[in-house]
């Protein structure tokens, strides 16, 4: 049965067919949909974890206990989970364990575009790379088998373009979950308990395993040679293969489905039969350096860029420089006349009042990862630093420790509810423990909004929507010993402002403001009316434009101030009232009920 599936849908299906019993992840673009799809499949237990390290540790436990297990994460999630990956590389597995790393060339929704093939080499574990959805499904099964055959965790690396593109998949008629009996856990401390003495004994095992994996790779069906014109041999993988296949038409290809360890004999054989070896790979010169280290001459990054996502145009440009003629498609350059369409906080977003206030109070802000990273953009321009999940609290503590969180430049840390559980809690412990005096704003919108409204430990719901114990952020914060904890309604801008001022004024001890209001996409969001503008009262003061709401736009010029009056789009407005609250002339009013 042919189906059009995204890479992520195909991975979920492949995992189900391979009999995966347990899967865990923290949501992260472009990986999120894998677990969301698995959650719907009978026979699979799929859980959101508070972060990627916790996810991978529990997946390790499931594997030790004898169940095939899957962890999924975005590329930077593997940074968080890397400590687990490295001990897993030494302990190996019991039942098969696969880790999906979904990389993001082009940094479409990430803070960087790191190339996680390096993790495979670094941790000395195999890495498979599908080039389309069919391979995504097929390679998951291969990865589980490989994991069990070689007693190793296996990384399956996708990119945004592989995870999110849809392509045709031959879905087996019988694609039910294949239940597998738990493989008995045979206690073996020398394998599973990495005290130094055992770690030293396991290291040679890891090195030996890597050699055997390299041998396997030489004849593995995931690595394929397509012979053509031998004046040029293209070594490539993943989506780079897809672009190259349309650009280097008729040339010879070595398509690597396994990007680590590399099949040295196969590469040597391929290289010996072509006149020129060309490596076409997205991001880092990973293959190129490995192949050069084998003593095989090749070219790569002098023709194809190291940064940003590939495209047909980018690969064509490299091909042209290599003397392979390419069509030159005339393009009209008219786009410059079209205004940009930057992202914005949604109409009704609970974060709006906070960023309006932070801007108004001219506070310095250590930011975090979430929808609220839009606070960096106009009209807020309200975030000074932004790095990774949980970084806001650590950065604020460092600023505070060196005396820069002062009356002249008060700093605050801003973090969402889901990142608070992910990495904020240890950082808050650090603030308390080390006598910090930071103000921490926790924007609790009761969901993991950025990746599409996933549940988290604070929402009281599991991935499948079952009701569970809700972890109360206020209790957690108080439990850590913070005395000054303020809870404020995110949709009450004056209260948000007053509360932040009060918290920032506390200079000798830490304070926490929990700004609470549901994400506009949640069912619990109450929208009963819309707001409108009284154009007689409005004088174009423009304050309401500073709330950065897509529903508010500029109308006619006011006769006195010669500034545009505000208009509200009734199709977009959701009646959150933040603009109404900031209007100094009471020109905004509620319509309807």
List Cα–Cα distances, 278 to 99, 199, 252, 255, 265, in angstroms.
30, 39, 10, 12, 17
Using CB under 8 A as the binding rule, whether residue 466 contacts another protein is answered as no
Binding segment (CB under 8 A) for another protein, from list 66-74, 157-165, 176-184, 265-273:
157-165
Smaller CB separation from another protein, 5 or 69: 5
Q: Give the Cβ contact number of residue 18 at 10 Å.
A: 21
Q: 120, 266, 345, 587: which one contacts another protein (CB under 8 A)?
A: 345
Binding segment (CB under 8 A) for another protein, from list 10-18, 330-338, 506-514, 524-532:
330-338
Count of chain residues binding another protein (CB under 8 A) = 53
Smaller CB separation from another protein, 227 or 433: 227
Smaller CB separation from another protein, 299 or 344: 344
Using CB under 8 A as the binding rule, whether residue 332 contacts another protein is answered as yes
Q: 295, 297, 342, 465: which one contacts another protein (CB under 8 A)?
A: 342
Using CB under 8 A as the binding rule, whether residue 292 contacts another protein is answered as no
Q: 374, 383, 476, 490: which one contacts another protein (CB under 8 A)?
A: 374
List Cα–Cα distances, 300 to 146, 235, 279, 291, 294, in angstroms.
30, 9, 5, 11, 15
DSSP code, position 334:
-
Q: 375: Cβ–Cβ under 8 A, 6 or more apart, which residues?
A: 351, 354, 355, 358, 365, 367, 382, 383, 414
Using CB under 8 A as the binding rule, whether residue 334 contacts another protein is answered as yes
Closest distance to another protein from the beta carbon of 495 (Å): 24
Using CB under 8 A as the binding rule, whether residue 237 contacts another protein is answered as no
If we measure between CA atoms, which residue out of 402, 459, 466, 456 comes closest to residue 434?
402
Using CB under 8 A as the binding rule, whether residue 330 contacts another protein is answered as yes
Smaller CB separation from another protein, 89 or 244: 244
For CA atoms 292, 298, 299, 301, give the dihedral sign: negative
Closest distance to another protein from the beta carbon of 276 (Å): 21
For the chain, the residue count is 593
Site for another protein in 98-137 (CB under 8 A): 108-109, 132
Query: Between 238-247 and 312-321, two packed helices, what is the crossing angle to 10 degrees?
Result: 60
Site for another protein in 375-394 (CB under 8 A): 378-379
DSSP code, position 66:
T
Using CB under 8 A as the binding rule, whether residue 325 contacts another protein is answered as no
Closest distance to another protein from the beta carbon of 348 (Å): 12
Which token pair is 464? 């499948």
Q: What backbone phi and psi angles, to 5 degrees, belong to 89? A: -60, -35
Using CB under 8 A as the binding rule, whether residue 554 contacts another protein is answered as yes
If we measure between CA atoms, which residue out of 180, 207, 183, 205 comes closest to residue 194?
205
Binding segment (CB under 8 A) for another protein, from list 211-219, 243-251, 255-263, 578-586:
243-251
Using CB under 8 A as the binding rule, whether residue 239 contacts another protein is answered as yes
CB 15 within 8 A of CB 98: yes
Distance CA 460, CA 470 (A): 4
Distance CA 78, CA 56 (A): 9
The residues pairing with 414 across neighbouring beta strands, listed in sequence order, are 441
CB 540 within 8 A of CB 561: yes
Smaller CB separation from another protein, 246 or 275: 246
Q: 214, 228, 460, 550: which one contacts another protein (CB under 8 A)?
A: 550
The residues pairing with 514 across neighbouring beta strands, listed in sequence order, are 442, 487
Q: 128, 206, 258, 346: which one contacts another protein (CB under 8 A)?
A: 346
Q: 173, 337, 362, 593: which one contacts another protein (CB under 8 A)?
A: 337
Q: 168, 193, 293, 526: which one contacts another protein (CB under 8 A)?
A: 168
Using CB under 8 A as the binding rule, whether residue 245 contacts another protein is answered as yes
Q: 386, 552, 582, 583: which one contacts another protein (CB under 8 A)?
A: 552
Smaller CB separation from another protein, 21 or 255: 255
Which token pair is 171? 């879905």
Which token pair is 453? 């409204």
Distance CA 427, CA 383 (A): 19
Using CB under 8 A as the binding rule, whether residue 252 contacts another protein is answered as no
If we measure between CA atoms, which residue out of 480, 381, 475, 370 comes closest to residue 416?
370
The residues pairing with 6 across neighbouring beta strands, listed in sequence order, are 166
Cα separation of the two ends of the chain: 51
Using CB under 8 A as the binding rule, whether residue 305 contacts another protein is answered as no
Site for another protein in 488-547 (CB under 8 A): 545-546
DSSP code, position 423:
I
Q: 64, 119, 150, 243: which one contacts another protein (CB under 8 A)?
A: 243
Which residues are at the interface with another protein (CB under 8 A)? 2, 4, 108-109, 132, 161, 164-168, 239, 241-243, 245-246, 311-313, 316, 327, 329-335, 337-346, 371, 374, 378-379, 452, 545-546, 548-550, 552-554, 569
């Amino acid at each position: 049965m042919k189906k059009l599936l995204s890479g992520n849908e195909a991975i979920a299906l492949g995992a189900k067919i391979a009999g995966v019993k347990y899967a865990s992840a923290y949501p992260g673009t472009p990986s999120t949909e894998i677990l969301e799809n698995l959650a719907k499949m009978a026979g699979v237990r799929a859980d959101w974890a508070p972060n990627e390290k916790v996810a991978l540790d529990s997946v390790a436990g499931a594997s030790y206990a004898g169940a095939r297990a899957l962890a999924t994460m975005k590329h930077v999630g593997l940074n968080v989970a890397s400590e687990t990956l490295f001990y897993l590389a030494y302990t190996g597995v019991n039942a098969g364990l696969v880790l999906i790393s979904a990389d993001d060339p082009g940094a479409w929704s990430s803070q960087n575009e790191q190339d996680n093939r390096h993790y495979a080499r670094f941790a000395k574990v195999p890495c498979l790379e599908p080039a389309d959805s069919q391979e995504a499904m097929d390679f998951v099964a291969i990865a589980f088998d490989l994991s069990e055959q070689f007693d190793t965790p296996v990384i399956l690396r996708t990119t945004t373009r592989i995870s999110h593109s849809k392509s045709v998949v031959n879905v087996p008629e019988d694609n039910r979950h294949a239940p597998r009996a738990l493989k008995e856990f045979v206690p073996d401390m020398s394998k599973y308990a990495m005290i130094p003495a055992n770690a030293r004994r396991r290291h040679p095992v890891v090195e030996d395993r890597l050699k055997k994996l390299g041998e396997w790779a030489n004849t593995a069906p995931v690595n394929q040679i397509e012979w053509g014109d031998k004046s040029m041999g293209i070594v490539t993988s993943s989506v780079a293969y897809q672009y190259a296949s349309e650009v280097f038409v008729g040339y010879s290809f070595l398509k690597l489905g396994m990007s680590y360890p590399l099949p040295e004999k196969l590469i040597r054989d391929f290289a010996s039969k072509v006149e020129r070896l060309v490596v076409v790979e997205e991001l880092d010169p990973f293959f190129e350096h490995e192949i050069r280290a084998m003593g095989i001459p090749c070219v790569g990054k002098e023709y194809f860029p190291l940064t940003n996502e590939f495209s047909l145009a980018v690969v064509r440009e490299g091909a042209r420089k290599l003397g392979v003629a390419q069509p030159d498609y005339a393009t009209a350059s008219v786009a410059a006349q079209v205004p940009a369409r930057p992202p914005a906080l949604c109409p009704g977003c609970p974060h709006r009042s906070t960023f309006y206030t932070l801007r108004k109070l001219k506070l310095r802000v250590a930011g975090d990862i979430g929808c609220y990273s839009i606070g960096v953009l106009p009209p807020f321009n309200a975030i000074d630093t932004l790095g990774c999940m949980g970084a806001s609290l650590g950065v604020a503590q460092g600023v505070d420790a060196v005396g820069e969180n002062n009356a002249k430049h008060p700093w605050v840390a801003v973090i969402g509810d889901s990142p608070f559980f992910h990495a904020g809690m240890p950082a808050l412990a650090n603030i308390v423990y080390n006598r910090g005096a930071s103000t921490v704003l926790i924007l609790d919108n009761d969901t993991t909004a950025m990746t599409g409204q996933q549940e988290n430990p604070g929402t009281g719901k599991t991935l499948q929507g079952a009701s569970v114990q809700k972890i109360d952020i206020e209790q957690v914060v108080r439990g850590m010993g913070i005395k000054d904890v303020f809870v404020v309604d995110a949709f009450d801008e004056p209260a948000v402002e007053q509360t932040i001022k009060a918290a920032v004024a506390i200079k000798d001890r830490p304070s926490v403001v929990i700004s609470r209001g549901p994400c506009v996409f949640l069912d619990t969001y109450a929208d009963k009316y819309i707001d409108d503008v009284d154009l007689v009262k409005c004088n174009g003061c423009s304050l309401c434009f500073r709330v950065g709401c897509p529903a508010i736009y500029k109308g006619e010029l006011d006769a006195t101030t010669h500034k545009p009056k505000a208009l509200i789009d009734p199709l977009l407005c959701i009646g959150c009232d933040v603009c109404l609250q900031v209007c100094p002339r009471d020109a905004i009013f509620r319509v309807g009920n």
